Amino acid sequence: MNNDDGWLSTENNRIEELLRAANRALRVLSGCNRVLAHSENEDELMQSVCEILVEEGGYCLAWIGAPVEDEEKTVWPIAQCGDTNHYLENLSLSYAETEREKGSTGIAMRTGCKNVVRYSLTDAVSAPWREAAMENGYASSIALPLLVGEVPFTVLNIYSSAPDAFGFEETRLLQELAEDIAFGLIALRTRIAYKRAEHELQQREERLREAEKMQAIGQLAGGIAHDFNNVLCAIVGYASMALEDVPREGCAGSHIEHILQASARAQLLIQQILTFSKQGAGQKHEVFIAPLIEEVVGLLSASLSSSMRVECKVSEELLPVYFDDTKLHEVIMNLSVNAVDAIKDQHEFAEKGLLVLSFEEREIIEMKEGLLGTILPGAYSVISIADNGCGMDGEVQARMFEPFYTTKAVGAGTGMGLAVIFGILKRNKSNMTVESTVGEGTTFMVYIPKVLADI
């Protein structure tokens, strides 16, 4: 073989190697773009990219590092494939400007530019990790920043067993891959944020429709209650006069007394309807909640069988709330009675029943959604009524504030308990949340703002 033939053979081998590297990068680029097009989860997307680089691209190791907000400016692996010997666990990478932190990954994170290690054995950048890299067969590597604009938010790291494995064309294709991944991650985050915003908007629209419905029902119920109260006053008045004209021991007297008893129950129902419709009167003043809870627990404990446990967990109360104590007592009692009924429905003879009433003062840092609208940041007194009763399904939860809606047997309840609570809390700018699982139980949490003046 003459010199020309030897040179030609060497050149052909070089070209073939370049083509293999380019084809490898193209396969990786194609595979990652398929994943980018269909991924719905950021963590799964990054993990899939690393797996494609190793399994389809033939690289030794691929991992993605993200910056941690700490004093050391640590870069922490959040996805990887190929690290069979726990190489990444001992890397101790950072993007701070110190000697140990001037590695390829840190440089890419700090500068926003790619960094290539041609040969780990001789490259100065790799000095702190040289021994571990060579033991694992990582002869060369490339660090590619994933950018938002010009700011890196993660770094894609790829390792090869061959020295100087990342030629011009392969590097160009891998940079294109990094740009595609960055774009895909940003697009995915945008889609997720859009879906979350769309879901929150739907929830707000549903709450608005529910509030408008409840307001309309309240106005209608209030008007009916007033008219019915006027009729009832006449019934009670004439029945009372009639009772004076007949012997109480007689049949007529007994009938009239039944009329008056039924009228008294009707007056109580009218008062509940007026409370729900926000037309009932109430006097607000400073109220400490813990004594009210302890009073309710005492009443329940005296009236329930010994087989049902009622627990009270009250923390120290530093500030009062501004509320009508009678109405607040009604809220706690109504929720507790509902919990007892739910326990009886779930546990025969209430042998395994547990009702827990608790209170704590809590600082809400971020807005959260409640059953009566958004719970804003601030200081709250939080009352919790938890039971291990029958629980509620989604349909029941959606209708539980509707007046006269009840899951109890006919004659066992009016369906006004939660409707009354709705009116009381709404009028006092308070809120409530519920967590319920069918067959396991329900927890209501009442949020009352800590204020010392009328709101």
DSSP 162-177: STT---HHHHHHHHHH
Beta bridge partners of 415: none
pTM, two decimals, is: 0.48
Report how far residue 145's alpha carbon sits from residue 109's, in angstroms, rounded to the nearest whole number: 6
Beta bridge partners of 384: 358, 445
| pLDDT at residue 455 greater than cutoff 90 | no
Proportion of the chain above pLDDT 90, given as a percent: 7
Q: Residue range 196-211: average pLDDT? A: 73
- Averaged confidence pLDDT in the chain: 78
Q: pLDDT band for 76, please (50, 70, 90 cuts).
A: confident
Distances (CA, A) of 265 to 206, 327, 392, 414: 35, 19, 28, 11
Burial of 345 from C-beta contacts in 10 A (0-12 / 13-18 / 19+): middle
Q: pLDDT band for 447, please (50, 70, 90 cuts).
A: very high
Report how far residue 179's alpha carbon sits from residue 214's, in angstroms, rounded to the nearest whole number: 52
Show the tokens assigned to 172.
Answer: 């160009």
| pLDDT at residue 351 greater than cutoff 70 | no
Q: pLDDT band for 280, please (50, 70, 90 cuts).
A: very low
**102-157 residue pLDDT tens:** 688 888 888 888 989 888 888 877 778 888 888 888 989 999 998 887 888 889 99
DSSP 229-277: HHHHHHHHHHHHHHHHHS-TTSHHHHHHHHHHHHHHHHHHHHHHHHHHT
| pLDDT at residue 57 greater than cutoff 60 | yes
**375-416 residue pLDDT tens:** 989 889 899 999 888 888 888 888 787 776 676 665 555 566
Question: Can you give the pLDDT at residue 453?
Answer: 42
Report how far residue 336's alpha carbon sits from residue 338's, in angstroms, rounded to the nearest whole number: 5
Q: Which has the higher per-residue pLDDT, 51 or 38?
A: 51
| pLDDT at residue 268 greater than cutoff 90 | no
Which domains, ranges and CATH numbers included, belong to the chain? 3-193 (3.30.450.40), 281-449 (3.30.565.10)
Q: pLDDT band for 433, please (50, 70, 90 cuts).
A: very high
Q: Residue range 28-54: average pLDDT? A: 78
